[in-house]
Structure 1
Amino acid sequence: MTKLNAIQLFEDKKVRTVWDAEQEKWFISIIDVIEILTGSDRPRKYWGDLKKKLEKEGSQLSENIGQLKMQSSDGKFYKTDVAHVEQLFRLIQSVPSPKAEPFKLWLAQIAAERLDEMQDPELTIDRALEQYLQLGYSESWINQRLKSIEIRKELTDEWKNRGVKEGQQFAILTDIISKAWSDKTTKEYKILKGLKKENLRDNMTNTELILNMLAEASAKDISQAVNPETFEENKIVAEQGGNVANVARKELEAKTGKKVITESNAKSILGLKNNNK
């Protein structure tokens, strides 16, 4: 089953989704939807209570809910309750919310857009660009971010070719690269920036993004050159790739007298931008 994980935006709120190419359907995180519709700071509990209520009422909806692995705030992938668009339409009827109708329209829109993108892949890039612009990012930052997505995909494809397993092993190698070039694991990096569920790369400065791309591109190139056969060998390659960017970071810091790794995040960066208008 061919799947594509993606983050969609509804009124600046992130929604985790998975596209199933065989069924040609989006599967969407129910927890994320519940959080948006209810504004609850405990969406898991709300969903748990609602699921029990639906089961007592004999609803087939709760029985047909599936689970897929989705990335959590800690960067790891966990099984998450998901529903396709048709199921969510029925589920929304059980959640009183003023956002119900606009959310239904949004669901219909992303379903139609994905089918369009399958016919014209360039639309995917165009829509990602539009979303980042709506959030207030600069065009130069967006160009770097889109390039970082491409480089990350090339690296994860290389890992798959080497037999590395998605999920925990991907997370371990990512942490090794991060630690090697920035002296911080992904979790430590996010803590520095005051992040929880937010995507780390969406909160990097241009320079941080560039060095992270250099680390991942180097890891991919080294892997293709040395052909690691075991996970331990892949770990060595990941560290070597990160070290390439670490050398560049230290040289840049020596020349500028400024630290590359900062506490700046999207909120502070975009806030500064807005204040300068």
Structure 2
Amino acid sequence: MDTEAQHTERDSSSPPLTGPEEESRSARFPRRSWRGAVVLAVVCVTVVLLVSHFVTQPFLIPSGSMEPTLRVGDRVLVDKLAYRSGSVPRRGDVVVFDGTGSFVQEAPRENPVTGLLRGAAAAVGLAEPAETDFVKRVIGVGGDHVVCCDRGGRIEVNGRAVDEPYVYPGDAPSRVPFDIVVPEDTLWVMGDHRDNSRDSRDHLGEPGGGVVPVERVVGRVRWIAFPPGRWSALRPTHVFDGVRSPAGAVQAPGGGQGRRGDGHG
């Protein structure tokens, strides 16, 4: 009896087994945990890329052409659904667009692997956008007659002078004259930092005529998401509310439709 009791007590206080079976079992759990983490990471990255591709894309501002509205290093969120379901860009909208064929005649060639990695990083706002992507403000839409400048130095759209409070302090609306009727389904775009922006003015003499096809618009800039001190929504401008289209209609409140001399951005 005493011997059996001692044996039982000794067994219950013995250290756990550390043989091959236990080591194998413990080795399997970290591996499963590692695989689960990888699967979760892949799912998260996939979701982020899908949202970036179809809904909202972060966009890193690489230059000062849109100052003071957007600064170098700002991460903005581009609403890719803004112009779906029949909606089109309006005067005053700040848009991101693919400038291939208008601002850039052909996309630069790059290594497929590095291009894929750069594209993925740019899609989440961690790298500069492609050299063919631009951000500008819509000044004229299809059919608009845009002229610079009136006697007061202001841009005119369909005969109406426009005061532009978003233009960089000290810049003129344009330091060179232009006079253009914007072709249908295209946009006349300009940077807010007029003395530091290469925009539609600089490409009038090139193939594409300096205007951007509406189909090339990626989306509308809605928010500044980073850095934290810059977080804000881009409010619609009302400076074009009184501008009439060539057909006589007035643009709805909250938005933004040539010939020309040489330009400088």
The TM-score, its normalising length taken from structure 1, stands at: 0.22
With CA pairs under 8 Å and 6+ residues apart, which has the higher RCO, 1 or 2?
2
Q: Which has the higher strand share?
A: 2
Q: Which has the higher helix share?
A: 1
